[in-house]
Amino acid sequence: MKLALFGGTFDPVHLGHLAIARAAAAKFDLNLIYFVPADVPPHKGNRSLTEFQHRFAMLALATADEERFVPSLLEANSGQPNYSIQTVRRLKRTLKKSDKLYFLIGIDAFMEISTWKQPVQLLAECDFIVASRPGYSLADLGKALPEGVRPTEAALQVLRKQQATGTIALPSTTIHLLTEVNENVSSTQIRAAARKSVQQLSRYVPATVASYIKKEHLYISTSAQREKGDTRNGKVLSFRKAHDQESKEQG
Ligand code: ATP
């Protein structure tokens, strides 16, 4: 079986994520794609994230009609930074020898890979599928690789004029470029759009996710929320705290 692990914050999941997953599944004959929302992403700075259960619920709605797309709890309830190297190794322990795992990632995230925990080891764990975007060259990808894996300056010179397409075969890993998708959308854009008008959301997210965002009043500012007298998110938070408290007490 061929599988891919697609990690992210998914705050919220959007049509770009789904388009990448569909294109990867078609091109690499994937049987399953695990969408793995991070409980505590190490790379997203100080922005406070939407509660994990909301992000997971939106993923479940967005993937409901796709047999091969599975929302995963691999990084749930960790309470500490979710490092991809650990997640990949955890997932691999559950796979059969004959299974082939890919790590699916967007080029903007891949450009930061040298700053991740144990990047050389991570690259050696499985092949990568990098969703490319226009404007990137193969040299950009090469330069982003961690020391020890990065091509020499002379080799980068040669790559400089080449579009980011095809496959880069390195001694420890193979990086496949996925160039079929060009969806100019990000979760940041959607959060900003939701603050202005929730009506616009269905341009960026599946209709079920747009309805969920509306129903749960996600991504509106706290003051706007207060004006509406809405306490629903507050209640989810208190519910989680109560649950955590209970779990602690049960040991
Ligand atoms: P944010 O705007 O909050 O940073 P995001 O839209 O990049 O979020 P993430 O959940 O961080 O979404 O992304 C998960 C993965 O999907 C990352 O590897 C990211 O590079 C990739 N990705 C997200 N949107 C796109 C897109 N439009 N095209 C290609 N890759 C994308």
Residue bearing the CA closest to ligand 1, atom 21: 106
Pairing verdict, β 167-169 and 174-178: antiparallel
Q: Where in the chain are the domains?
A: 2-178, 187-250
Nearest CA to ligand 1 atom 13: 8
pLDDT at residue 139 in the model: 81
What's the pLDDT at 12? 97
Task: Give residue 156 CA to ligand 1 midpoint distance, Å.
Answer: 26
pLDDT tens for residues 102-117?
999 999 999 999 999 9
How is domain 2-178 classified at the CATH fold level? Rossmann fold (3.40.50)
| Of 167, 36, 163, nearest in space to 103 by CA | 36
User: Ligand 1 pocket test: which of 13, 15, 20 has the largest number of ligand atoms within 8 Å of its C-beta?
Assistant: 20
Mean pLDDT within 83-110: 96
Q: How many CA atoms lie within 13 A of 43 on its CB side?
A: 16
95's tokens: 């796979």
CB 17 near ligand 1, within 6 Å:
yes
- Tell me the DSSP string of 117-179: SSHHHHHHHSEEEEE--TT-BHHHHHHHSPTTTSPPHHHHHHHTTSBS-SEEE-SS-EEEEE-
pTM of the predicted protein model = 0.87
pLDDT tens digits, 3-21 = 999 999 999 999 999 999 9
Per-residue model confidence as pLDDT tens digits over 197-250: 877 898 899 999 999 999 999 998 654 453 444 444 444 443 344 344 434 434
